[in-house]
Every structure is written in structure tokens, then in C-alpha cells.
Amino acid sequence: MSHGEKPALVAALRQGRRAGRRIVLRVSTRASARHALVGQAHLWAMKRRFQFEFLTCRGLRPHHTLLDIGCGTLRGGIPLIEYLHTGHYVGIEARQAVLMEARRELAEAGLEHKRPRLIHAADPAQVRLASRVDSAWAFSVLIHMPDDTVSAYLRFVARVLTPGGELYANVILGTGRESTWQGFPVISRSREHYLRLAADESLIADELGPLADLGHRSGCSQDEQIMLRFTPACR
Ligand SMILES: C[S@@+](CC[C@H](N)C(=O)[O-])C[C@H]1O[C@@H](n2cnc3c(N)ncnc32)[C@H](O)[C@@H]1O
């Protein structure tokens, strides 16, 4: 290398490194923006892990079929789709733009061949499933639904669950003031309220305890939310 070529090479390397940093930054900014569509981005990995560990510890097996209500960007969905047999994951999501991000997440994870069914709907009355599901999941979803929407989903679940199936969903117990999150309400209701909504749809609801006791570690009040299990009243 001649004397004059050396500074040019150093400058080119520096420029390359800067471009590399810009690409990494752009990719991580895009990921954070996607993660923020379903909650605080710094809790994303913990919440992904929690969902998979919770459901598999409760007996979800690859041959089961899972309905993920309010699946969002597939934060919990990706490891579940990977785990379940092809075509055994069904996600319902109310926001079209979020579902588009879910499809990108699926492609980036290289899991399109698992053919999950991703349905854009806010009202389950519009949803037709090809077959019943063994398990249903609504993580951080019922807390964003008005009562009539919760009832509509419980009615739907009661209809599509296999006799031994169950729905797990976390709720905020209380009668506190309602706030909002990304245009959705944040709702707290009494235990009796959820038991009543369940009974109206021929389901039994029981309490599994606070998320903290089930492995959810956010370091904030979300850990105090309660996990409920809904099962058909007549099995
Ligand atoms: C806090 S995010 C949780 C997403 C996902 N369950 C997860 O844990 O990654 C709540 C999701 O529920 C969706 N949602 C709210 N109301 C809905 C409805 N009526 N039907 C389907 N999805 C709904 C929202 O659009 C949002 O993506």
C-alpha cells in the first residue's frame, strides 16, 4: 500500500463501521417500534418467555390447537407457533396494522411454513374456525375490552373449546378508575364480576393467583394481575 492509500483505507473502514452502526440502529429501532405495539418494549422478552413457559407448564403439547385472542404482533405467538404442529395456532387481532407486523415477525422468524391462521377481527361473532381448539389464551387482552366484548369472547370460547379445554386470561381485580392504553380502555373489575360473566356463558372461572407467582417478573404492578382459568361448566 502506498503512503497516500493508507488514509483513504482508514477513512473507508471508518465509514463502513458508521454505516454498520446505522443499520444495527435502524433494525433495533424497527424492532422496538414493533414491540411497543403490544406494551413496554423492555418487557417484551420476559413476556414472550412467560407466555410460552406458562402454557407449556399448564400442559400445552405440540398436537394441541391453540386460540390466541388478541395475539398482537406474535410476542407470545412466535415460540408457540414454532412448538405447535403445523396449522395448530390461531390468532385473532383487532388492529390490522398490528396484524401486518405479526406477519412480518412470522416471516423474520422463518415460520411461515407452520401456517398459523391469523384473523383480523374485533368481534368473535365474525370468526369461523375450521375445528374446535384444545386451549385458548388471552394475555393482557381482557383488561382492554369493554364488558360486552369480554362476554362475546367467553361465548365464543365456550362454543369452540373441546370438552376438556380451557381458557387462561389475566385480569386486573378491583374497581379502580379506568385509564387508556393505545386507544383501548384499561379495565379493572371484581372477582365476582368475572365469575358472573363466565357463568352467563356456561363457564366456570377459577383463580390461579397473581402473575408474579406464576413467573411474570416486570417489577411493576402488572405482576399483581390475576390469572383466571375458564373451563366449560358441563364437561
Ligand atoms: C397488550 S396487547 C397483548 C398482545 C399479545 N396478547 C401479547 O401478549 O403479546 C393487547 C392486544 O389485544 C388486541 N385487542 C384488543 N381488543 C381486541 C378485540 N376485541 N379482539 C381482538 N384483539 C383485540 C389489541 O389490538 C392488542 O394487540
Query: Which amino acid is residue 41, in one-letter code?
Result: A
Measure the CA–CA gap between 33 and 123, rounded to whole angstroms: 26
Measure the CA–CA gap between 66 and 64, rounded to whole angstroms: 6
Low-confidence spans in the chain with pLDDT less than 50 = none
Q: Which pLDDT belongs to residue 220?
A: 94
Query: For the chain, what are the domain ranges?
Result: 1-38, 39-232
Distance of CA 68 from the midpoint of ligand 1 (Å): 9
The three cell numbers of residue 112 are: 411461515
Distance of CA 18 from the midpoint of ligand 1 (Å): 38
Asked if 77 and 54 touch (Cβ cutoff 8 Å), the reply is no
Distance of CA 121 from the midpoint of ligand 1 (Å): 11
Q: Is the CB of 76 under 6 A from ligand 1?
A: yes
Pairing relationship of beta strands 184-186 and 179-181 according to DSSP bridges: antiparallel
Measure the CA–CA gap between 104 and 140, rounded to whole angstroms: 22
pTM of the predicted structure, to 2 decimals: 0.89
Q: Is the CB of 52 under 6 A from ligand 1?
A: no
Q: Which pLDDT belongs to residue 23?
A: 59
Q: Is the CB of 222 under 6 A from ligand 1?
A: no
Look at the domain 39-232 and name its fold. Rossmann fold (3.40.50)
Q: Is the CB of 72 under 6 A from ligand 1?
A: yes
Give the ligand 1 atom nearest the CA of 149: 19
Q: Which pLDDT belongs to residue 115?
A: 98
Measure the CA–CA gap between 139 and 130, rounded to whole angstroms: 23
Q: Which pLDDT belongs to residue 11?
A: 78
Distance of CA 33 from the midpoint of ligand 1 (Å): 16
Q: Is the CB of 46 under 6 A from ligand 1?
A: no
Q: Is the CB of 149 under 6 A from ligand 1?
A: yes
Residue with cell 405447535: 84
Asked if 94 and 121 touch (Cβ cutoff 8 Å), the reply is yes
Q: Which pLDDT belongs to residue 234?
A: 77
Q: Ligand 1 pocket test: which of 101, 103, 126, 141 has the largest number of ligand atoms within 8 Å of its C-beta?
A: 141
Q: Degrees (nearest 5) of the Cα angle 199, 132, 39? A: 70
Q: Which pLDDT belongs to residue 22?
A: 62
Residue nearest to atom 12 of ligand 1 (CA): 70
Q: Is the CB of 38 under 6 A from ligand 1?
A: yes
Start-to-end CA distance of the chain, whole Å, equals 81
